[in-house]
Chain A
C-alpha cells in the first residue's frame, strides 16, 4: 500500500495550486487541506474538519447516547430506586453510560463507513491517515481512547469533588490539566487530531458534496479573439471569470459582469462597440476562447498561472 510518507513530494501540480488561490478569493474552501494517496497512486485532496464542526457533531452524538442511556437506565432505576441509595444509582448509570456510548460510537463508525449520526448530520467522516482502509481495530482504538482522554478523568474529577475539599488536591489538579490538554489537542495540531486519532492513525475529514454544473464552453461563437489578445491572461483569471459566470443572475451579478467586461476590453484592446445586452455573450465567448488557448498552451508545456507570469521562452 502506498502511503503519503513513502512517495517523494514534488511541487504541487498546477491545477490544485490554482484552485487554492481561486478558493482563497471566493472563500468557499475555508478548511485546512491535506493530500492523501489512494492505493492506485493518485493523490486526492481532503478537507480536514474544523474544531467547531467536530464539537457540534460530538454534541449531537452526546445528546443521542445520553437519551439512549436514560432509556436503558429508566426501567432499572424504577426497580432498584426503591431498594438502594444514590451511590448505587450513580454507579449503574455510569456503567450503562460506558457500555452504551462505546457500543454506539464503534457500531456506527463501522457500519456507517466511519461516521456516526452526529458526524453524518454535519458531513464528517473518519478516514485512515495514510489512505488505507479504515480497520476495525482503528475504530475501536480511537473510540476507547476517548474514555482515557475524557470520561474516566471526568469521573475521577466528579468523584473527588465530593470527597475532598479545602486544600489543593494534586491528583485533582493533574486530572484537570489532563482534561484541558486533551480538549485542546485538536486545536493545536495541524491535522485536527484528538488523542484517539493520533493513536489510531485516523483523521476526521469534512466531506461536502459537490455538484457538476454545465460546461460554460460556447459552441457557436459570435466574437473572435487573436492569440495576442488571449495572451493577456492566465489560468487564475480564467477561473475567476468562470466563477463569476456561474453566479446566479441578479442585478448585482450583472453589475459585476459589466465592470469585468470593461476591464477585459481595456486590457486586450477591444475597440469594437459592445451593447450592454451582449456583455454575457461576449464574456462567455471570451471564456471559451481563453480556455481553449490556455489549455492548448498547457498541453504544450507552456502553462501560464496568471497574468503576471511570463510565457516561457521558446528553446
Chain B
C-alpha cells in the first residue's frame, strides 16, 4: 500500500517539470530533474551499503542503521519510477545495481555465526527430523524387514552369509568361523591403543557405511525405490551377522558389542535414507510447482537431515574407534549404547519444540 503511494508520489514530483520540457533552446528533462532531486539520497545509500559490505552492519551507527531501510525503499521506488520515465542507460544500470546491493545489505543474514549454528542445532535440525517422521517410519520398516530376512535365511543356511556380505567387509567372519574366534578377535578383542583407534575412526568416516548412507540419500533423486532397496540390503547384512552369532550362542554379546556404536550408526543410516525419501517425495509429488522448483523450495529439509546423518556418523566413528573395545563388559556396552540411542531420540523428538509454539 505505502509502496504504491510512494510511486504515485514520485510520479507526481517527476511530473512537475513535465510542462517545462519540449521548449526550444532550454530543455528540461523530467528524468534529469528526477535524478537531481534524488541523487543525494542514492549517494548516501551507496556509502552506507559500501560500509556494510566491507565491515558488516555493526560498523553503522544507530542513526545510520535507522536510515538504511528508509534510503533502501526510496532507492527501490526511484528504480520503479526511473524504469518508466528515464531512458538514461547508465542511470538505470546504476539504480538497479544500487537497489540490489542495498537489498542484500538490508535482508542479509542478521544472525552472528555462533548464534546461527546454535539456532540450527537447537531448532532447525530436530524440527526437520520431526517433520519427516513418516519417512523415517518407512525406512525403519524397510531396514527391519531386511534384518528379519537376513536373519531367517542365514540361520537356515550359513552359505547365505557369503552372498549378503562382501568378503572385505566380513573380515574372515564367514560360515567357518568358530565361537572362540568371534569372542577373542571380534567381540572382546583388546583395545588397540589411541593411534589405531583414531585410524578406525577415520576409516568409519570414509568407509563403506558412510558411502552407503550418502548413496541412500542421493538416490532419493531416483524416486526413492533404490533408497529403500539399499536400506533393506543393509538390514540383510546386519541380519546375517546376527544369525552367525546366534548360531554360536553369542547373540547377547553381539548385540551389546554392536549397540555401542550401532545406535548412532544405524540411526545415521535411517536419517540419511529418510532424507533421500524426502527428496523423492518432493520430486514425485510436486504439488503446484514444477518438480525442480519444489525440490529447491523444500529440499532444505532433506539437506538438514543429511547434515544430521553425517553428524551421527561422526559420533558413531568416535564411539567405534574409542569406546567399543575399551569397554569389555556386555552390560556396560548395552548401557552406553542404549543411553546414547535414548539421547538421540530425546534430542530429535524434544529439542526446539518450545520455540516453535
What is the interface of chain A, defined by CB distance below 8 A to chain B? 5, 13, 15-16, 18-19, 22, 38-42, 44-46, 80, 83-85, 87-88, 90-92, 94-95, 98, 106-107, 109-114, 125, 127, 129-130, 132-142, 144-145, 147-148, 152-153, 155-156, 159, 171, 174-175, 178, 196, 198-201, 207-213, 215-221, 224, 235, 238-239, 242-243, 246, 288-289, 291-296, 298-299
Contact = CB atoms under 8 A, between A and B. Distances in A.
Contacts of B206: 94, 152, 155-156, 159
B104 interface: yes
B113 A106 contact: yes
Given A213-B90, A215-B32, A171 B211 contact: yes
A230 B86 CA distance: 17
A179 to B, nearest CB: 12
Chain A interface helix/strand/loop/mixed: helix
Interface residues of B, number: 90
Contacts of A211: 94
A221 B111 contact: no
B99 to A, nearest CB: 5
A107 B110 CA distance: 13
Given A44-B99, A152-B206, A212-B94, A294 B87 contact: yes
B99 A133 contact: no
Given A136-B119, A138-B300, A19 B92 contact: yes
Contacts of B228: none
Contacts of A178: 218
A292 B21 contact: yes
A41 B80 CA distance: 10
A288 B27 contact: yes
Interface in B70-120: 73, 76-77, 79-80, 82-94, 96-101, 103-105, 107-113, 115-117, 119-120
User: Looking at B22, B87, B196, B217, which has the most chain A CB atoms within 10 Å of its CB?
Assistant: B87
Complex A-B, nearest 5 residue pairs according to Cβ-Cβ distance, in ascending order: A136-B116, A91-B202, A141-B303, A155-B206, A113-B108
22 contacts: A38-B107, A42-B99, A91-B198, A111-B56, A113-B53, A113-B108, A140-B116, A140-B120, A144-B310, A148-B218, A148-B310, A153-B211, A171-B211, A174-B215, A198-B296, A200-B303, A201-B297, A213-B90, A218-B27, A221-B24, A221-B27, A295-B87
A224 B88 CA distance: 20
Contacts of A109: 109
B50 to A, nearest CB: 8
